[in-house]
Structure 1
Amino acid sequence: METHEWYGARSVYELVGRGSQESGSRLFEERVVLVKASSLEEAINEAEQEALAYANEDSGFVYLGYINVYKLADTRIENKIEVYSLMRESALAPQEYINRFFDTGLERTG
């Protein structure tokens, strides 16, 4: 019997025509979805299929071909479970790191 495990899959999209026309900026979205699969390769394939479905013709989103998959350490999905983790090396100081990658002032959440 094949064992299926949970994976968090992060994907990146561009929302076409929704950036700031004045500054010439573009609007991007990062999403994390849960995928149940029997292997990392299957999780990547499932996540890519989900990403393509999300970015259909009517949505205005274009899937940028970026998927990063994380195998969940816990076997049960419950309150406060970690669904995605990314570790990155950087020479930046903590506040500079946050400002550079996570709190630029241009984020739209909600």
Structure 2
Amino acid sequence: MTSNDGSETAPRWFGVRCVYHDAVRNAYEERVTVWQADSVEASIALAEAEAGEYSAGIDFSYLGLAQAYLLVEPPGHGADVFSLIRRSDLDPHAYVTSFFDTGHEITGEIS
């Protein structure tokens, strides 16, 4: 990659979350994919192109929502690949119940 001053820079990694809808099951999917790009905009463009490929031929359609996160370090074992901070007046239990554990998730069990 080349910086604004013309010098070479190391490629940067981004985690991009895209949201999909399955009208058949009335379900939503959030996927985080990892991209090497020179900007947030470029990482989103890559993820959105892949979102079209991913949803082609399956019941999920891409909703046009992509959120990118610049990784501090290249991806590896245990790397932080996406983070979203949301302000909320909800207490922790109500927050988790409202956004992550509504009872409508399609999940498996861990023994």
Secondary structure of residue in 2 paired with 1:45 = helix
1:72 paired to 2:79: no
Gaps of 5+ in 1: 19-25
SS at 2:21 equivalent: strand
* Structure 2 residue identity aligned to 1:87: I
The question of whether the paired residues in 2 share the 8 Å contact of 1:4 and 1:39 is answered with no
Q: Which has the higher contact order (CA 8 A, sep 6+)?
A: 1
Q: CA deviation at 1:34?
A: 0.5
Aligned-partner residue type, residue 64 of structure 1? L
* 1:100 has 2:107 as partner: no
Q: How does 1:3-42 map to 2 (within 5 A)?
A: 3-18=10-25, 26-42=26-42
Q: State the Cα distance separating 1:31 from its structure 2 match.
A: 0.5
Deviating beyond 4 angstroms after TM superposition, the runs of 4 or more aligned structure 1 residues are: none
**Partner amino acid for 2:23?**
V
Quick one: distance in 1 between partners of 2:75 and 2:17? Answer: 17
Letter in structure 2 aligned against 1:55? S
Q: How far off its partner does 1:109 sit?
A: 2.9
**Unaligned 5+ residue runs, structure 2?**
3-9
Percent of residue pairs bearing the same amino acid type: 42
Residue 62 (structure 2) pairs with residue 55 (structure 1): no
| 1:90, distance to aligned residue in structure 2 (A) | 0.4
Cα RMSD (Å): 1.2
The one of 84, 88, 105 aligned to 1:86: 84
Q: TM-score, normalised by structure 1?
A: 0.86
> Quick one: distance in 1 between partners of 2:79 and 2:107?
21
TM, length-normalised to structure 2: 0.85
- Whole-angstrom distance in 1 between the partners of 2:90 and 2:48: 32
Tell me how many residue pairs correspond in the alignment.
Answer: 101
